[in-house]
Structure 1
């Protein structure tokens, strides 16, 4: 075996735009890496958004309540309660708009499709890589599963320092896969072109390189060769799931639908909401989460945002919801609300939240959202997500999780835009994970403390405003 180390950025390149990143291998280690030098781990920051929020009183229950699905990851998370976004209030608007725009920016929106400033991930990106990311990377990856569409801020949560959208939203598994690994060939959108795409795999174009790295002349040992084979098989598996591809044959099957859930105008018919099953919702989301995690694991992207349900989401959910083998709830929003259209959507449980009631339906929906957020986070905390310092991507990255509202009732600005749920990962030991803290501070100060801790020289908000450091969140 050739004992010379290979680069962490080694990739397989195929024809056209196809680029397949390799997993982290033993041969990518050097003596310096063995010393666990923090500089060997790339800087990464991602924003994870979920719609409608968690009322502040429910956050006080900690992991005994709706946050239960996050408990297995609790030692790698810092939960921050009492984060205030009241400065983001926009007269005549509500948290579905201004609260969602404030998530990760701490500022009100600047129009229909622009935030009031940069988001956490992009501020870090521009500071960490002022000359741009390594060649071949996806600069910013934005994706998610959502259905409410009236304003961009409802579902996009990655913004450049000037407030413009940092990247095009990828809302279909096919599109996300192609964004990460590239397209085989330009497509004109015709049925024939799309059918041709289904006959082929992006891995077809890297066969020769695959044979080199797994063959006798490979610079890799047996363990790494096996891992590459398994890694490419996993890419193939996700590709098949994303494109509904069968085994490649000369007689390809008819073009399957792009997705099992609505997109575009059909996803938001006049704001009246859609009917969807829990299985349909979570199956699509988990494929998106798997693909997004794979993009991070293969070092194809280091910054961006992922959305699970938009701000003010309107869906009528049905299905049996289980967690850890126990039945939590039977979703049937339309029947339980005894209304049709928008009135029958889960959205309304938030507007009807009352501290002195059981809020059973809201609790079930919020618990389910945390289960799906935890699903994504867990993808970055396993054996496929080990970094050069021996820790997982989840531990090394700054992943910030937030939402739009602290209550859901539009009749009280402070209640609606205060107590916004926030959590973050440790970013390589920079933040105080394993705790639930009552920070009781303005979001702008929390975010700027996070940026300062990540060595970002610029700050969010007005230039003349004196910032307050929230040292309680720093390790």
Structure 2
């Protein structure tokens, strides 16, 4: 059988299209990703997909326990970043970047709304509680505008918070600014999905929302997995694969089933009377499990080249979630105004450590997944992790806590601490311009950028 020159293959069943990771056996006879030398938009020099993801954590960090000791490659990870010790070769730390539009001007109070709204846009949001919202196109959507046509999903927007699109949330700012990280236009946010079940169905379901719901209801009634409906195609596909790819397919489908089982478990436990019902069925009660489930789905979307662009809001800025599982019963936002209370500072450092631990889980997951060239999915990614506030106590928007993970298909240097002068307030938008250029997009005027970030 002669395969068409395509990177994407699907196992299709009733209302389903289970995307597969790229495999050598299914590459066109004229060449494969390992021997392709010319890079194209959002492709590495080896022909692998080049991905970008933007991850947001709220309320700033405890800076003395965040930034490492030393610069360049000669640095020592501080307390908060210790979970990343085994991944040192996979990321770089950037200090000194700023969002000047986050600071109060004539707008007055509202730093949490501005921190969130500026993070991926670099633009100052209009202060309004009405429908006349305005900020700017976010970097992920700018990328999607140029590259989204290359994948089944132009971009993927995830969250662990419910959506709020109207009303006033922070000192007269619309809730839209604080509960949306991604903006398609300066007036229109991209709603993020917080329910893992709905993300799963979006990745594997075919048809419109109504059709996907109908097929989902049938699977639930019959208590069958998505994999049950593609079993015939799975057997047929396996006959076309070499030994290594058969093993890769088996590992992949096992991973899909494991994610599906975790979602089903969350749905079952939501039916128990002692469980608080503030979240829809499918959302784990345990916050860490919720984050990791979303990270696994994001990794799956990258592995199968379903999308190359994503954003993930782990929590909105100003979030007052507590972290009883790690011994912090007070709300995050309340603690962030610590006024130099050492007990509160120590509790905030625990929260920072918690978030970095989840981030390390995601990086390790991406590192375990391989592209056709042999490079990891993490090698071929640019993952930005950070917050729109540095010091939550003083509401600072400079010297932001930013980590850039992945090697960008060989275009990024890792295992170093890049320290920019804080007083220069180098726009974070400069980092985004550099990322766009590496994705094959030329757009030097993004946000409040003054050009590309030469050190990246």
Indicate the residue corresponding to 1:437 in structure 2: 418
Shift of 1:122: 2.1
Q: Is 1:108 the equivalent of 2:124?
A: yes
Shift of 1:381: 0.7
Indicate the residue corresponding to 2:52 in structure 1: 45
Matches within 5 A, 1:348-387: 348-352=334-338, 354=340, 359-382=345-368, 385-387=369-371
Corresponding pairs, count: 417
Pair 1:117–1:387, CA change in 2 (3 A): same
Q: Is the 8 A contact 1:145 1:285 kept in 2?
A: yes
Pair 1:141–1:467, CA change in 2 (3 A): same
Indicate the residue corresponding to 2:198 in structure 1: 175
Unpaired runs of at least 5, structure 2: 38-44, 70-76, 170-174
TM-score, with normalisation over the residues of structure 2?
0.80
Aligned match of 1:75 in 84, 89, 92? Answer: 89
Distance 1:220 1:409 in 2: 57
Aligned match of 1:97 in 96, 110, 113? Answer: 113
Residues 185-238 of structure 1: per-residue CA shift (max 9 Å, x gap): 947989x94884572322232222112012xxx221233223323322321221
Q: Is the 8 A contact 1:285 1:308 kept in 2?
A: yes
Q: Is the 8 A contact 1:56 1:419 kept in 2?
A: no
Q: After the TM superposition, which of the residue ranges 219-228 and 362-371 deviates more from structure 2?
A: 219-228
Q: Is the 8 A contact 2:163 2:192 kept in 1?
A: no
Q: Is the 8 A contact 1:52 1:405 kept in 2?
A: yes
Indicate the residue corresponding to 1:35 in structure 2: 35
Shift of 1:48: 0.9
Matches within 5 A, 1:200-215: 200-214=224-238
Q: Is the 8 A contact 1:199 1:245 kept in 2?
A: no
Indicate the residue corresponding to 1:332 in structure 2: 328
Q: Is 1:451 the equivalent of 2:436?
A: yes
Q: Is the 8 A contact 2:429 2:449 kept in 1?
A: no
Distance 2:206 2:260 in 1: 12
Q: Is the 8 A contact 1:52 1:403 kept in 2?
A: yes
Distance 1:64 1:160 in 2: 37
Distance 2:274 2:179 in 1: 18
Pair 1:262–1:75, CA change in 2 (3 A): farther
Shift of 1:155: 4.0
Shift of 1:163: 5.5
Distance 1:36 1:388 in 2: 11
Q: Is the 8 A contact 1:3 1:27 kept in 2?
A: no
Pair 1:189–1:211, CA change in 2 (3 A): closer
Q: Is the 8 A contact 1:406 1:416 kept in 2?
A: yes
Matches within 5 A, 1:33-432: 33-35=33-35, 37=37, 38=45, 40-61=47-68, 63-89=77-103, 91-110=107-126, 116-129=135-148, 132-134=149-151, 137-146=152-161, 150=169, 151-160=175-184, 162=186, 164-166=188-190, 168-182=191-205, 186=210, 193=217, 196=220, 199-214=223-238, 218-244=239-265, 256=271, 263=278, 280-319=286-325, 321=326, 331-333=327-329, 344-352=330-338, 354=340, 359-382=345-368, 385-410=369-394, 416-425=396-405, 426-432=407-413
Q: Is the 8 A contact 1:396 1:427 kept in 2?
A: yes
Q: Is the 8 A contact 2:24 2:372 kept in 1?
A: no
Unpaired runs of at least 5, structure 1: 247-252, 267-276, 322-330, 334-343
Shift of 1:263: 4.8
TM-score, with normalisation over the residues of structure 1?
0.77
Shift of 1:315: 1.7
Q: Is the 8 A contact 1:386 1:393 kept in 2?
A: yes
User: Aligned to 1:400, what secondary structure does the other structure show?
Assistant: strand
Pair 1:161–1:245, CA change in 2 (3 A): closer
Shift of 1:5: 8.2
Distance 1:204 1:169 in 2: 29
Shift of 1:406: 0.8
